[in-house]
Amino acid sequence: MGLDWQPGSIGTVAGYRVYRAAAPQYRYEAASDLLTGTHFEEFSAGFGDGEHRMYAVTAVDAAGRESGFGELVYVPGIDAAVAVATSPDGARLVPNGGNLYPLLRQQPDGRYTHRLVNVHYDLGNAHSLAYDPLGRLLVSGFGESSFGRKAVRIYDPELRPVMAFGDSGSAPGQFISPAGLAVWGEACSYGGPYTADSHTLLLLHFDGNYAGAQGEVGTPEGTSFVEGRHGQGVLINEADTLTYPTAGTAGSSSPARIRSRKADWAI
């Protein structure tokens, strides 16, 4: 651990003294003799495994009078750091593997300021991070759990859970030991009302009828029209169905059954 500070500018400074608060009691104790320079470093083989330290520097004049603490500096114990991601505000996120509080925030100037999550986030096995264009954090590394955890999790900019996907296994869409994570392209957007183009298979507006935009005929059972996102929508309750022939439309010989609520629907 290396610590640097600006020289004192008030009065005559004869030297500096560094103080440390560390486990198990976290009381500030002198970590150095009187230093004439503005640099201090130390190493401890046992520092890690979730331990953290706080450091502070005082100025001492020629008469031995000592100032109060300067700015406190947080130094986390880092054990098996496995990745780094740059957040939209320029700070870095560092997952500290095997730690109950594994996600650390490092400022652009190199200072670690705090831990971002607690033990209840269960990110101890996380090993890949990425931000998407919306500022959401994607975390991977959970595909081997016997508890059915999803392989990838997504958190909003405030680190609130948004969704998770990817079961453990070798089938399509499943993961075994996911080894990395990347975000590609701009975030998806949506608008409307939509119009059919050369890529449209089935576009349904539900504005007073069940006909598709390209003439498809729908067969409703128990559905009703309600206010939708654009004009009207269709309300489909648990016992209701709305069926369309898929021959030449959705690439299947079986009818497509739609289960959606109050929205235009397209494939």
Q: What is the pLDDT of residues 149-191, one digit of tens each?
A: 788 889 999 989 888 888 888 888 788 777 788 888 877 666 7
CB atoms within 10 A of CB 147: 7
Instruction: Provide the token pair at 177.
Output: 């030991």
Share of residues in the chain with pLDDT > 90 (%): 33
- Fold of domain 2-76: Immunoglobulin-like (2.60.40)
Question: Residue 240 carries which side chain, given as an amino acid letter?
Answer: D
> What is the structure's pLDDT at 75?
84
Helices (H), the chain: none
Q: Could you tell me the CA-to-CA distances from 32 to 18, 42, 58, 99, 100 in Å, in that order?
A: 5, 10, 11, 29, 31
Q: Tell me 119's DSSP state.
A: G
> Per-domain residue ranges for the chain?
2-76, 85-165, 192-267
Give the total residue count for the chain: 267
How many whole angstroms from its chain centre is CA 146?
Answer: 23
Residues 96 and 105: beta-carbon distance below 8 Å: no
Q: List the one residue out of 57, 103, 55, 99 whose CA is nearest residue 83.
A: 103
How would you classify residue 222: left for phi > 0, otherwise alpha for psi between -120 and 50, otherwise beta? left
Q: How confident is the model at residue 267 (pLDDT cuts 50, 70, 90)?
A: very low
| 213 and 203 Cβ atoms separated by less than 8 Å | yes
pLDDT at 257: 55
pLDDT tens digits for range 57-116? 999 999 999 999 998 988 887 777 788 999 999 999 988 766 667 788 899 888 888 888
Per-residue pLDDT of 237-263, as tens digits, reads: 888 999 988 765 555 445 555 544 344
